């Protein structure tokens, strides 16, 4: 009997349900796989085999019965408080149940590990973490993307078939893009968030699935949403493209792959592509940054900042202190920009069903120096990445990132689609249409690290 280890999430769930895979064998094979591959990836920063076996023993007959998953270090578990990738958080945390934990448990899933993440969720690369950086399975010298670095690296490295991340400014979509996965940023409020230390105050962060393909994201997403994300039809998809920095200040390879993907999606759906205007994207990006900075600092006092843990990175220390200096009027203006962009998007989604642009302007940079070369010059990856992601968080709309190619250096390239509030299912339909259009070439591509090892442990 196969352990089902190297199959996808829905294949694992179906094989277990059919009795073709023994979930206990799958769990042990997954734990062995983590032990085997994780030293090269640092994707999983905590395992708890006895807890996992207890979860399996108590697992109900849900849609993920017996399926191993990883959850980001952003939510508590009953036996472990989240650390948010940092030496300390501005908000106290404690072990406990969270929304994503309950959703996974009630679906019968087995949590096998906690995924690494960028320190304090404040980076798109995953290059900084109290645990040391996670590494990209496509090239372990490169960034896996952040802040959900460990969840992405653990799925791309085929440690597990699905992982739960969180997205406050692109933190599901960046690592999905860097690691060649599909990642869904849900409409704000649709996916389980409670138990997150910022859940009471955030207006940007959502939980979201990272998987090899859209079908697996639909399955894991349905669990996180607490409702079925029913498959529909993306026929006649009206795709809007924005000729702005987000689509033009990108590498030639990214532009070429994304343009080809948009055309393939149009042809597959029998839809249309039209250029649309969406002014003030730079302002929208800064507005989202200001709002999340403000929300993340709630209750932090100057005295608190004078006794920061010395293990916090210099960037985190400086960033936390700098946030205290930002004028309140800027956050007020940021909220006005939020209204402005929400109204513009509302009008735009009467004309098109989805807006497309590259998820990332350049493939994963080196961990040692996370900089990218763009037509406009050299930029930090964080600076360049965020401008394509923040709009969805600022306004609440859903967004999906899907792999659409490999660079000449063998690193994934990704396209992002954004749709109207509540149209999460349409994004999955569109992603599946694109997979059909390109023969599932990119969602089935394996990184060298996953190809090099035996398929069964």
Partner 1 sequence: MENATPADDFIPAGLASLGIEADEIDLAVMAAFHQLLWPRLLELLALDTEGLEIERCPDLSQAPR
The rounded distance, in Å, linking the Cα atoms of 184 and 400 is 5
- Of 232 and 422, nearer to partner 1 (C-beta) is 422
Cβ burial of 256 (10 Å; 0-12, 13-18, 19+) is middle
Q: Which stretch binds partner 1 (CB under 8 A): 42-50, 131-139, 155-163, 184-192?
A: 184-192
**Contact pick of 51, 53, 102, 321 for partner 1 (by CB under 8 A):** 321
Question: Smallest distance, Å, CB 318 to partner 1?
Answer: 3
* 196-216 core/surface letters (b: 16 or more CB in 10 A; e: else): bbbeeebbbbbbbbbbbbbbb
Question: Smallest distance, Å, CB 346 to partner 1?
Answer: 5
**Contact pick of 337, 411, 434, 443 for partner 1 (by CB under 8 A):** 337
The rounded distance, in Å, linking the Cα atoms of 134 and 195 is 24
Binding mask of the shown chain, residues 256 to 295, with x at each position contacting partner 1 by CB under 8 A? ------------------------x-xx--xx-xx-----
- Of 335 and 407, nearer to partner 1 (C-beta) is 335
Tokens of 26: 């799958």
The rounded distance, in Å, linking the Cα atoms of 412 and 222 is 26
Binding residues among 82-101 for partner 1 as defined by CB under 8 A: none
Contacts of 74 (CB under 8 A, 6+ apart): 82, 84, 117, 121, 165, 166, 196
Transcribe 377-421 into DSSP letters: EEEEHHHHHHTTTHHHHHH---EEEEEEEE-TTS-EEEEEEEE-T
Residue 188 touching partner 1 (CB under 8 A) = yes
**Cβ-contact 273, 241 below 8 angstroms:** yes
- Find, among 378, 449, 353, the residue nearest to 138 by Cα: 449
Binding residues among 196-215 for partner 1 as defined by CB under 8 A: 203
Question: Smallest distance, Å, CB 431 to partner 1?
Answer: 21
Residue 102 touching partner 1 (CB under 8 A) = no
Q: Which stretch binds partner 1 (CB under 8 A): 95-103, 215-223, 301-309, 432-440?
A: 301-309
- Find, among 410, 325, 399, 343, the residue nearest to 174 by Cα: 399
Residue 422 touching partner 1 (CB under 8 A) = yes
- Of 306 and 378, nearer to partner 1 (C-beta) is 306
Question: Smallest distance, Å, CB 112 to partner 1?
Answer: 31
The rounded distance, in Å, linking the Cα atoms of 193 and 408 is 38
CA R_g for the chain: 20
Q: Which stretch binds partner 1 (CB under 8 A): 70-78, 144-152, 322-330, 402-410?
A: 322-330
The rounded distance, in Å, linking the Cα atoms of 348 and 150 is 35
**Contact pick of 36, 235, 346, 455 for partner 1 (by CB under 8 A):** 346
**Contact pick of 1, 57, 252, 325 for partner 1 (by CB under 8 A):** 325
Residue 383 touching partner 1 (CB under 8 A) = yes
Transcribe 260-325 into DSSP letters: HHHHHHHHHHT-EEEEE----HHHHHHHHHHHHHHHHTTT--HHHHTT--TTS-HHHHHHHHHHTT
Residue 14 touching partner 1 (CB under 8 A) = no
Give CA 167 to chain center in angstroms.
6
Q: Angle at which helices 49-58 and 23-41 pack, to 10 degrees? A: 150
Residue 241 touching partner 1 (CB under 8 A) = no
Residue 51 touching partner 1 (CB under 8 A) = no
**Contact pick of 136, 338, 364, 438 for partner 1 (by CB under 8 A):** 338
**Contact pick of 53, 238, 342, 440 for partner 1 (by CB under 8 A):** 342
How many residues touch partner 1 under the rule CB under 8 A: the total is 48
Residue 402 touching partner 1 (CB under 8 A) = no
Residue 333 touching partner 1 (CB under 8 A) = yes
Binding positions for partner 1, rule: CB under 8 A: 187-190, 203, 280, 282-283, 286-287, 289-290, 302-303, 305-306, 314-315, 317-319, 321-322, 324-327, 329-330, 333-340, 342-343, 345-346, 349, 383, 395-396, 420-422
């Amino acid at each position: 009997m196969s352990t089902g280890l190297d199959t996808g999430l829905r294949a694992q769930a179906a094989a277990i349900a059919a009795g073709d895979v023994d979930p206990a064998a799958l769990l042990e094979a997954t734990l062995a796989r983590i032990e085997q591959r994780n030293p090269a990836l640092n994707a999983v920063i905590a395992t708890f085999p006895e807890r996992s076996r207890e979860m399996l023993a108590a697992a109900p007959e849900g849609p993920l019965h017996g399926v191993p998953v990883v959850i980001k270090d952003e939510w508590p578990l009953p036996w472990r408080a989240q650390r948010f990738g940092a030496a300390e958080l501005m908000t106290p945390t404690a072990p406990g149940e969270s929304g994503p934990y309950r959703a996974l448990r009630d679906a019968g899933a087995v949590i096998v590990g906690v995924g690494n993440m960028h320190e304090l969720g404040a980076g798109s690369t995953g290059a900084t973490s109290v645990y040391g950086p996670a590494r990209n399975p496509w090239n372990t010298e490169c960034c896996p993307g952040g802040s959900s670095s460990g969840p992405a690296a653990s799925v791309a490295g085929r440690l597990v078939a699905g992982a739960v991340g969180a997205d406050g400014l692109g933190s599901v979509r960046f690592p999905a893009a860097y690691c060649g996965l599909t990642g869904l940023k849900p409409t704000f409020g649709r996916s389980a968030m409670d138990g997150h230390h910022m859940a009471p105050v955030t207006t940007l962060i959502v939980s979201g699935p990272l998987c090899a393909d859209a079908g697996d994201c639909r399955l894991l997403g349905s669990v996180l949403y607490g409702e079925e994300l029913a498959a529909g039809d993306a026929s006649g998809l009206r795709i809007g493209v924005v000729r702005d920095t987000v689509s033009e200040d990108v590498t030639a390879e990214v532009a070429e792959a994304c343009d080809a993907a948009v055309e393939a999606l149009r042809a597959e759906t029998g839809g249309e592509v039209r250029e649309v205007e969406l002014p003030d994207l730079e302002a929208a990006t800064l507005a989202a940054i200001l709002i999340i900075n403000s929300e993340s600092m709630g209750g932090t006092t100057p005295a608190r900042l004078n006794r920061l843990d010395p293990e916090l990175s210099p960037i985190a220390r400086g960033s936390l202190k700098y946030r205290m200096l930002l004028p309140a009027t800027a956050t007020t203006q940021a909220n006005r920009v939020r209204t402005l962009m929400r109204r513009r998007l509302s009008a735009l989604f009467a004309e098109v069903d989805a807006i497309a642009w590259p998820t990332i302007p350049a493939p994963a940079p080196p961990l040692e120096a996370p900089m990218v070369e763009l037509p406009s010059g050299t930029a930090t990856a964080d600076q360049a990445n965020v401008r394509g992601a923040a709009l969805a968080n600022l306004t609440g709309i859903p967004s999906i990132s899907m792999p659409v190619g490999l660079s000449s250096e063998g690193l994934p390239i990704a396209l992002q689609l954004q749709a109207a509030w509540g149209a999460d299912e349409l994004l999955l339909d569109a992603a599946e249409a694109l997979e059909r259009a390109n023969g599932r070439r990119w969602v089935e591509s394996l990184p060298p690290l996953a190809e090099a090892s035996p398929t069964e442990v």
